């Protein structure tokens, strides 16, 4: 419901996925972007295929945008300011994605960043395997 609020706050919403472009590009790119000096006021995510109700609600609020996972959207006062779809993520390096979002954060957001300290960020390890290649757990 934070997406719909008319309070001049920016809300970043990511529809996450188990695909390789989410693991290798989207998640690390957005994480890096959130190290910017200016970031969105609120951060939310829903995991496609896992959190169906949450993702369905996000897609409902996104409106006439085509379903896409992964995807990332920035909202302000219930309106989409910018949306990055899967086809804009695939084949791109995390730094490229981060650069796009950092520019947008600088233009549209006001909250002081980063989202976590640089020391904490250095410890973050992104899994870079496609979900279809993750081995099953054997009991």
The catalytic site residues sit at: 19, 21
> What φ, ψ does residue 119 adopt, rounded to 5°?
-65, -40
91 within 8 A of 99, measured Cβ to Cβ: no
94 within 8 A of 62, measured Cβ to Cβ: no
16 within 8 A of 22, measured Cβ to Cβ: yes
80 within 8 A of 50, measured Cβ to Cβ: no
């Amino acid at each position: 419901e934070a997406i719909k609020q008319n309070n001049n706050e920016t809300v970043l919403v990511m529809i996450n996925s188990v695909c390789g472009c989410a693991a290798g590009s989207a998640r690390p790119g957005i994480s890096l972007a959130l190290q910017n000096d200016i970031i969105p006021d609120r951060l939310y995510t829903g995991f496609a295929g896992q959190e169906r109700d949450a993702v369905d609600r996000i897609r409902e609020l996104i409106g006439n945008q085509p379903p896409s996972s992964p995807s990332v959207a920035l909202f302000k006062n219930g309106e989409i300011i910018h949306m990055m779809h899967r086809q804009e993520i695939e084949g791109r390096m995390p730094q490229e994605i981060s650069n796009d979002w950092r520019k947008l954060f600088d233009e549209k957001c006001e909250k002081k960043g980063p989202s976590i300290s640089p020391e904490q960020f250095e410890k973050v390890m992104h899994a870079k395997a496609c979900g279809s290649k993750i081995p099953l757990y054997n009991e």
